[in-house]
């Protein structure tokens, strides 16, 4: 009899002891938590990708609660999660545009090479060798650091330069971090006109080294009906708050570096 009772007592006693300890602990060490926190975490995608700039989804949820981040802070969850969080927080989410990344260079095979690079397949490494293998010090190196960084397989090297597949892109910003040339930017998906060049070189210089670079001719600026496109430092840039996607600039651009994705979808591919 004793061989049964004492082990049961020992194990039961220990279990009871630790159970009580935990129950007591949860009372003594109770930390006030906002009930909304768990709901916000549930509304976020939970991928912990860090695209919002916080260390993970829980950190973003905390920041939203403290008012340090907007309810649409999560670029991956997009409108659906922003709507859900806005409801939890009791504010209106507003009009949330889906964002996508865009590579502001279509140089690739159109750009002249300084030398043949045969080192590590990495843009940062390539850019360290004599200023990079391209004559253009602004252009895409095409080594695919952004391709490796993309968790959603949304960016690929096409004709020697990186291009974003807008359907797959979740605007997490990983490619932007990976790019040593800083030529990837986040734009609204609704925007269809892009200046696909990042070079601030003077027209004459650029003409010699790239067939598709912006030479700063101001034609787009003169033809824009809303004044959305301006040329600064030999490079055109579009203010998307003013742009109406009319595509005039793409039509008049003599170097065809302004792309109108809506008018000529094949130009994107």
Partner 1 sequence: MSGLTYYFSLALSAILIENFIFVKFLGCCPFLGVSKKIDTATGMGIAVIFVMTVASAVTNLVNTYILGTTYAYMRTVVFILIIASLVQFIEMFLMKSMPALYESLGIYLPLITTNCAVLGVANLNVTNGLDFIGSVICGSSAGGGFTLAIVLFASVREKLEYADYPKCFEGFPIALVSASLLAIAFMGFQGLSIF
Applying CB under 8 A, the residues found at the interface with partner 1 are 6-7, 10-11, 14-15, 18-19, 21-22, 25-26, 28-31, 120-122
Give the nearer residue to partner 1 in terms of CB position, either 89 or 129: 129
Tokens 């190196």: give the residue.
141
User: Is residue 230 packed enough to be buried (19+ CB in 10 Å), middle (13-18) or exposed (0-12)?
Assistant: middle
Least separation in angstroms between residue 243's CB and partner 1 is: 39
Cβ proximity to partner 1, 33 vs 208, nearer residue: 33
Q: How far is the CB of 14 from partner 1 (least distance, A)?
A: 6
Question: CB of 22: closest distance to partner 1 in angstroms?
Answer: 6
- Taking the least distance from each CB to partner 1, the nearer of 10 and 267 is 10
* Alpha helices in the chain, H assignment, sequence order: 2-28, 35-43, 57-65, 78-89, 123-128, 145-149, 174-178, 203-209, 219-223, 248-252, 265-268
Q: Which of 143, 137, 139, 106 is nearest to 123 (CA)?
A: 143
Residue 139's φ and ψ, nearest 5 degrees, are: -80, 170
Q: Which is nearer to partner 1, 149 or 158 (CB)?
A: 149
C-alpha span between 184 and 148 (Å, rounded): 15
Nearest partner of 76 among 38, 47, 39, 40, judged by Cα: 47
Cα–Cα distance between 180 and 118 in angstroms, integer? 18
Nearer to partner 1, 1 or 28 (CB): 28
Least gap, CB of 134 to partner 1 (angstroms)? 22
Minimum CB distance to partner 1, residue 59 (Å):
10
Nearer to partner 1, 6 or 109 (CB): 6
Residue from 60, 16, 27 nearest 42 by CA: 60
| CB-nearer residue toward partner 1: 31 or 241 | 31
Q: Please identify, using beta-carbon distances, which residue of 120 and 264 lies nearer to partner 1.
A: 120
Largest separation between any pair of C-alpha atoms in the chain: 100
Q: Shortest Cβ distance from residue 18 to partner 1 (Å)?
A: 4
Report the nearest approach of partner 1 to the CB of residue 178 (Å).
12
Rounded Cα–Cα distance for residues 40 and 36 (Å): 6
Shortest Cβ 10–partner 1 spacing (Å): 6
Distance CA 9, CA 15 (A): 10
Residue 163 belongs to what H/E stretch? strand 161-164
């Amino acid at each position: 009899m004793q061989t049964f009772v004492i082990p049961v007592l020992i194990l039961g006693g220990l279990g009871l002891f630790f159970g009580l300890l935990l129950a007591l602990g949860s009372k003594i060490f109770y930390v006030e938590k906002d009930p909304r926190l768990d709901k916000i975490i549930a509304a976020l995608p939970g991928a912990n990708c860090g695209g919002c700039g916080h260390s993970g989804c829980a950190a973003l949820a905390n920041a939203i609660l403290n008012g340090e981040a907007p309810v649409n802070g999560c670029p991956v969850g997009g409108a659906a999660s922003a709507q859900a969080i806005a409801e939890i927080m009791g504010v209106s989410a507003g009009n949330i545009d889906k964002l996508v990344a865009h590579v502001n260079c279509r140089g690739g095979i159109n750009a002249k090479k300084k030398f043949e690079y045969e080192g590590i397949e990495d843009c940062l490494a390539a850019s360290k060798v004599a200023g990079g293998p391209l004559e253009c010090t602004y252009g895409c190196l095409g080594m695919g650091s952004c391709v490796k960084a993309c968790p959603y397989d949304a960016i690929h090297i096409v004709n020697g330069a990186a291009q974003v597949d807008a359907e797959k892109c979740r605007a997490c910003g990983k490619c932007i971090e990976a790019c040593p040339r800083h030529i990837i930017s986040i734009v609204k998906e609704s925007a269809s006109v892009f200046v696909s060049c990042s070079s601030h070189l003077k027209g004459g210089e650029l003409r010699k080294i790239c067939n598709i670079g912006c030479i700063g001719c101001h034609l787009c600026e003169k033809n824009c009906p809303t004044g959305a496109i301006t040329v600064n430092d030999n490079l055109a840039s579009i203010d998307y708050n003013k742009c109406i996607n009319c595509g005039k600039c793409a039509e008049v651009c003599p170097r065809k570096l302004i792309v109108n994705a809506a008018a000529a979808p094949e130009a994107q591919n």
